[in-house]
Chain A
Amino acid sequence: METAASFYETPEPARFTGVWSWLLTLDHKRIGLMYLYAVLFWFLLAVLLGGLLRLELMFPGETVLSSQLYNSAFTLHGVIMIFLFIIPALPAVFGNFFLPIHIGAHDVYFPKLNLLSWYLYMAGGAIAVFSLFSDGFADTGWTFYVPFSISTNTNVSTTVFAAFVLGFSSMLTGLNFITTVHKMRDRAMGWLQIPLFTWSLYATAWVQLLATPVVTITLVLVMIERFFNVGLFDPARGGDPVLYQHLFWMYSHPAVYIMILPGMGVISEIIPVFARKSIFGYKAIVGSSLAIAIAGSLVWAHHMYTSGMSDTAVFVFSLLTFVVAIPSAIKVFSWVATLYKGAILMTPPLFFSLCFIYLFSVGGLTGLVLGAAGANIHVHDTHFVVAHFHFTMFGGTGFAFFAALHYWWPKMFGRMYDFKKAYIAAILVTGGFMFHYVPMFILGLQGMPRRYYDYLPQFAAGNFFAGFGALFMIFGIGLMVANLVASFARQRTAGPDPWGGVTLEWTIPSPPPVHNFVHPPEIMAYPYDFSGVTDRSEQRQKGE
C-alpha cells in the first residue's frame, strides 16, 4: 500500500488553510470529526449534570439543588443527552466518517448540505446555552408537556427553538444519507452487499427524515401558544392537551429508533470481526432494521397509557408494542449466533459490544414491562422508566458509541490506545452502570416517582447506593476518554487493518486520504467474507 497524504494534510476545498480548512470543509471525514469534538463535549457536560442530579438525590431533603433548579437540571440533562448527543452521535460522527467509505464513495452526495447540518447542530447547541440565562432554563422535562410548558415562566420558547434547529440538522443528515446510499454506491455494490452499518444508517435516515417534521411543528405550536395563546391544547378554549402528547410522541418514539438503530449497526460490524466469522443472518438483520423503523412508527401512544386516552387506544398500542420487540430480538439472536463457534479475539471494541448486548437486552425486556398496559399503570412516571431508558439509551446507544470509538479510533487517527486501561475503564463504567441503574428499577417498583427532587424516607438507601454507582461510572467514563486522548502521546501508530476487518475502511490507510480510495475499491460478492482474513490483515499491516 503506497503512502498517500492523509485527509488531515489535504484540505477539501484545497484553497483553505488552518482553522478555515475545518470550518469551511466539505470533507465528510473532517465534518465527522468536528461533530465528534462537539458531541463529546455535550456528552461529558450532560454526564456531569446527571451526576449533579444524583448527588441531590443521594440524601433526603434539599441538599445541592433547590426544587426549581432540580427541574431545570433534569430538563437540561435530557435535552442535551437526547438532542445533542444520542440522536446525532452515531450518524453524524461515524455515519459521516464511514458511510461513504463503506459504499466505495469519495464523499456524501450533498457535501455542502453536510456542512450546513453541522452548523445547524452548533447553532442549536448555542441557542440551548443561551436559554440558560435570564429566566432560566426550561423546567418542563425534555418532553415539554402542555399546559405547563405554555404557562411556566422559564425560557421554554428558547429551549424549544434550540430543539427545532437541531431537528433540521438531523433531517438534513437523513436526507443526505438516503441520497448517498441510493446514488453513490460503487457500481459493483448492490443493495445486498452494503455493510450492515450502512443499512442501519439508511433505515435511521428514513426515520430522521419523516418523523422529525412532526416534532418540528409540535415545538412551533408550543412557541405559538406561548406567544399568541391560540388555545389549541387548552381545554378552556376547546383544545385537548392529550393531543400534544400524541404529536410529541409521534416523533419521539421513532426517535428512540433513530437512537438505537445505528448502534445496532455498529455492533453488527464489530461482532463478526472479532468472532472471525460471517454475521449470522445478514438478510434477517437488514429486514429487522427496516421492520424496526416501520413498526416503530406505529406504537407512539405506549407513552400515554395513563394520559386519559381511550381504553381502545391503550389496548391497540400495547399490542403493537409487543410486535416491535420481535425484530430487536432477532438482532440479538443473530449476534449471539455469530459469536457461537467463532474464533474469538478479545479487544476493547468487542468488550463494549458484549456489554451492549447484555445491557440493551435488559433494557429491552424491561420495555416489555412498560409496554404491557396493566403493568405500566404501576410503573409509569416512576424510576422504573428512568432505569429502562438508561439501559436502552445509555447501555445501548451509549455503549455502542464507546464501542465505535474504540473500533474506529485507529482508522480515524492512525493511533492505537492502551488496551489495559480501556478494559479497566469499560469494567468501571459497566459495573458502575449496573450499581447505578438497577436500584432504580427497584425504587420504581416500590413507587418512587421520577422528576422529583426529594422522596419518601424508605427510598433513601436505594438512592444512596445508586449515587455510589454513579461515581464509579463517571470515573470510568473519564478514564476511558483520557485513555483515548492519551493515544496521541503514544507513538504507537496503527496500520490500515489492525483488527482484520472485511469492510472497505480497512483497505485504505489510517488515517484515510482525502478522497478515501487511492485505487478503486475491490467490492466483495458478500460483505462478511472472512476467508483468509488473518493473512490479509498481516499483509495490509506490513504495507503490501
Chain B
Amino acid sequence: MEQASHIFSYKTLGLVLGALLILTGVTVGASYIDLGWINVWIALVIASTKASLVLVVFMHMKSAGKSVVVSFLSTVFFLAVMIGFIFWDVAFR
C-alpha cells in the first residue's frame, strides 16, 4: 500500500484549507493597498504559496518520488524561461 505512510489526516487537510482561505483573504486585502508595481509580485508570491500548499499536501507531491519533484520544478523553470526571455524583446522595444 504505497500511500500508507502518506495519508494526510482530515485535520491536516482542514488546516491547509484554512490556510488557503486566509491567504485568499490576504491577497484580496493586499489589492486594496496601492504599492505600485510591487502589487503584482505580492499577488504572485501569495498565489505561489497557495499553490505550494495544494501541491505538497492535497496532491501528495513528495510521495510521488524525486523524479516528479525534479520534473515539476523543471516544468516551472521552463515556463519561467518562456515568460522571462520574451521580455528581452518586449521590455526593450
Contact = CB atoms under 8 A, between A and B. Distances in A.
A, B co-complexed: yes
Interface of A: 182, 210, 214, 240, 242-243, 246, 250, 297-298, 301, 309-313, 316-317
B82 interface: yes
Contact of A310 (B67, B75, B81, B90): B90
Contact of A250 (B67, B75, B82): B82
B88 interface: yes
- A-B pairs with lowest CB-CB distance, top 6: A310-B92, A313-B89, A312-B92, A309-B89, A313-B88, A316-B88
A182 B67 CA distance: 9
B38 interface: no
Contacts of A210: 75, 78
A311 B85 CA distance: 13
Best-buried of B67, B86, B89, B92 by chain A (most CB within 10 Å): B89
Nearest to A242: B89
A311 B92 contact: yes
Interface of B: 67, 75, 78, 81-82, 85-86, 88-93
A317 B85 CA distance: 9
A242 B86 CA distance: 11
B84 to A, nearest CB: 10
Given A243-B86, A316-B88, 18 more contacts: A182-B67, A210-B75, A210-B78, A214-B82, A240-B90, A242-B89, A250-B82, A297-B81, A298-B85, A301-B85, A301-B89, A309-B89, A310-B92, A312-B88, A312-B89, A312-B91, A313-B88, A313-B89
Contacts of B78: 210, 297
A246 B86 contact: yes
A301 B88 CA distance: 10
A242 B92 CA distance: 14
Contacts of A298: 81, 85
Given A182-B67, A210-B75, A316-B88, A309 B93 contact: yes
Contacts of A309: 89, 93
Contacts of B93: 309-310
A309 B91 CA distance: 10
Nearest to B78: A210
A241 to B, nearest CB: 13
B1 to A, nearest CB: 18
Contacts of B81: 297-298
Nearest to A211: B78
A202 to B, nearest CB: 12
Given A297-B78, A297-B81, A246 B89 contact: yes
A255 to B, nearest CB: 14
A6 B81 CA distance: 48
A214 B82 CA distance: 10
A182 B93 CA distance: 44
10 contacts: A210-B75, A210-B78, A246-B86, A250-B82, A298-B85, A301-B85, A310-B92, A310-B93, A311-B92, A317-B88
A246 B89 CA distance: 10
